[in-house]
């Protein structure tokens, strides 16, 4: 029986008891991920104090300038996760190809995909950033290839994010609800603070980068224009950090829209390690996630760093957007 303040590790063990086929391997993998999250949290929270701010000068596969914390977060996850013996391979937003497990370590049956520090361009101005992760089973055993990662989001066995904000939160789902834990630095544990999160069916917040409006397709423009009708009482809230915008809407209700448009035909956000994990979390919380024309979790990926149009949040808001959506 879960109680507020229960540690994430205890909660997971309780949850695993309800999943007959689960062995210790998933729990061991998950606990390694929790350790990585605590290390990244420590570094992100120190960032203002040590000379780690500022771009590292390199450019990642997305063509974006890489901040030093991006590198640290990526390396922390890889180094913490690779020796646990539960992974067949990993994939990171920061790395072109998938990351095989060093031959000196045993391999397992899971695949870990992650955006190590989403929203990193906000680090220098102290806006919250986050790690987003997705866990799949490697269907070909433990000798992974890129194709093993190209599974629709409904195949995820676990998804979650860590939000490094005014407090550090770990939010995850294994398909049995979406649950939130808050780090108590004095104990060094994530403690249950938001059990079985439910997103309101209707929100009063919309999140979109309206500087892109002139490139939006007519359906998007019509949808957002409709939300501006003052009688509907919507507020616009856009941080520019996906995990922050998503987390606020998850708790209060609302919709986040980053559509494909005339300039970015495939959208900006990544399907495998951004849209899919958040889509699993929001559906487990009673919300919805769509490309505008298709349920995010049913999109069959064709490449590792594939982009997607994303509408995600309160189910009735997403439904209204889909009714108006157009791709031209
Ligand atoms: P724009 C950050 O770079 C990010 O990947 C997400 O965290 C965020 O939601 C989005 O891009 C912001 O993009 O084009 O509005 O700056």
CB within 8 Å of 179: residues ≥ 6 apart: 11, 171, 172, 173, 192, 194, 195, 196, 197
Q: Whose CA is nearest to atom 5 of ligand 1?
A: 119
pLDDT band for position 141 (cuts 50, 70, 90): confident
Residues near ligand 1 with C-beta < 6 Å?
118-119, 121, 209, 240-242, 268
Position 76 pLDDT exceeds 50: yes
Mean pLDDT of 311-323: 97
Q: Whose CA is nearest to atom 1 of ligand 1?
A: 240
Q: Whose CA is nearest to atom 10 of ligand 1?
A: 240
> In the numeric block, which tokens belong to residue 130?
């986050």
**Which comes out higher in pLDDT, residue 74 or 70?**
74
pLDDT digits (tens, 9 = 90+) for 36-65: 999 999 988 876 554 455 556 667 677 766
Per-domain residue ranges for the chain?
8-194, 205-325
- Identify the CA nearest to 255 among candidates 202, 309, 198: 202
CA of 107 to the centre of ligand 1 (A): 34
pLDDT band for position 319 (cuts 50, 70, 90): very high
Q: Whose CA is nearest to atom 16 of ligand 1?
A: 240
Pair 26, 158: CB distance under 8 Å:
yes
Position 148 pLDDT exceeds 60: yes
Closest atom of ligand 1 to CA, residue 243: 7
Least confident of 17-26, 138-147, 226-235: 17-26
Closest atom of ligand 1 to CA, residue 269: 5
pLDDT band for position 254 (cuts 50, 70, 90): very high
Closest atom of ligand 1 to CA, residue 115: 5
Question: Domain 8-194 carries which CATH code?
Answer: 3.30.540.10
Helix (H) or strand (E) holding 222: helix 218-227
Quote the CA–CA distance of 36 and 63 in Å, as a whole number. Answer: 26
Dihedral, 299, 300, 302, 305 alpha carbons, nearest 10: 50
CA of 83 to the centre of ligand 1 (A): 32
CATH number of this structure's domain 205-325, picked from the four choices 3.40.190.80, 3.40.430.10, 3.40.50.300, 3.40.91.10? 3.40.190.80
Averaged confidence pLDDT in the chain: 92
Helix (H) or strand (E) holding 132: strand 129-137
CB atoms within 10 A of CB 266: 12
CA of 72 to the centre of ligand 1 (A): 20
What's the pTM?
A: 0.94
Mean pLDDT of 203-228: 96
CB atoms within 10 A of CB 189: 18
CA of 115 to the centre of ligand 1 (A): 12
């Amino acid at each position: 029986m879960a109680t507020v303040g229960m540690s994430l590790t205890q909660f997971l063990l309780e949850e695993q008891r309800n999943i007959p086929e689960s062995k210790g391997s998933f729990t061991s993998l998950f606990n390694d991920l929790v350790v990585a999250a605590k290390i990244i949290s420590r570094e992100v929270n120190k960032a203002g104090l040590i000379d780690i701010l500022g771009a590292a000068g390199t450019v990642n596969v997305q063509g974006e300038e890489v901040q030093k914390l991006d590198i640290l977060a990526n390396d922390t996850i890889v180094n913490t996760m690779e020796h646990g013996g539960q992974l067949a391979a990993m994939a990171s937003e920061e790395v072109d190809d998938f990351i095989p497990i060093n031959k000196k370590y045993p391999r397992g049956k899971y695949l870990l995909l992650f955006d190590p520090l989403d929203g990193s361009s906000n680090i220098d101005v102290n806006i919250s950033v986050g790690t987003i992760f997705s866990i799949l089973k490697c269907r070909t055993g433990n000798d992974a290839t890129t194709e093993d990662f190209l599974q629709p989001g409904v195949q995820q066995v676990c998804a979650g994010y860590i939000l490094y904000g005014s407090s550090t939160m770990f939010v995850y789902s294994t398909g049995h609800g979406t649950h939130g834990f808050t780090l108590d630095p004095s104990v060094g544990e994530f403690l249950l603070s938001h059990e079985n999160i439910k997103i309101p069916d209707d929100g009063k917040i919309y999140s979109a980068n309206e500087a892109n409006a002139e490139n939006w397709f007519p359906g998007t423009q019509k949808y957002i224009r409709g939300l501006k009708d003052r009688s509907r009482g919507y507020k616009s809230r856009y941080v520019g950090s996906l995990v922050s915008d998503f987390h606020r809407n998850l708790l209060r209700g609302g919709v986040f829209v980053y559509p494909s448009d005339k300039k970015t035909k495939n959208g900006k956000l990544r399907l495998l390690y951004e849209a899919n994990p958040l889509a699993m979390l929001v559906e487990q919380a009673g919300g919805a996630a769509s490309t505008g024309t298709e349920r995010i979790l049913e999109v069959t990926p064709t490449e590792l760093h594939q982009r997607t149009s994303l509408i995600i949040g309160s189910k009735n808001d997403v439904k209204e957007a889909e009714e108006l959506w157009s791709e031209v």
